Amino acid sequence: GNSVTQMEGPVTLSEEAFLTINCTYTATGYPSLFWYVQYPGEGLQLLLKATKADDKGSNKGFEATYRKETTSFHLEKGSVQVSDSAVYFCALTEANSGYALNFGKGTSLLVTP
C-alpha cells in the first residue's frame, strides 16, 4: 500500500526563520503529492501540489519539490510569519487507491514574534 511519514511536531520558530517540514512517502505507482494546511477551527486548505517527479509546487512563499529518488516532498519557506502558525499535512493520491487522499499525521507549526 501507500503511506506518508512526516516529521513530528510541534515545531516552534521565530518570525522570519527558515522552515523545513520533512515528508517522505511510499507508493506502488506514480503518486501525486500535496501539502494541505489547517488553521485552528477550520478545514483543510490546499497549499501546493506536484504531480510528477521533479515538479516544484509553490504558493504563498512555500515550496516543495517532488523527489522520486528520495521519495520525499519536503515543505520549505524562507521566512515564516506569525500568520503561518497552523498544522501542515503532507498527502498523496494514487490510482490504485482510487485517488483517495492518504495523509501524514500532520506537523504543528507555531511562529512567535
Looking at beta carbons, which pairs linking 52-61 to residues 24 or more positions away fall under 8 Å?
57/33
Q: Which stretch binds another protein (CB under 8 A): 12-20, 61-69, 71-79, 96-104?
A: 96-104
Say how far apart CA 108 and CA 88 lie, in whole Å.
6
- Looking at 15, 20, 46, 82, which residue binds another protein (CB under 8 A)? 46
Radius of gyration of the chain (CA): 14
Mark 52-91 with x for binding to another protein (rule: CB under 8 A) and - for no binding.
Answer: -------------------------------------x-x
Residue 30 binds another protein (CB under 8 A) = no
Pick one of 102, 107, 109, 111: the residue that binds another protein (CB under 8 A): 102
Q: Nearer to another protein by C-beta: 22 or 97? A: 97
Beta carbon nearer to another protein, 12 or 96: 96
Q: What is the DSSP string of 43-103?
A: -EEEEEEE-STT-EEEETTEEEE-BTTTTB--EEESS--GGG-EEEEEEEE-GGGTT--EE
Residues that bind another protein (CB under 8 A): 32, 36, 42-46, 49, 89, 91, 93, 95, 97-106
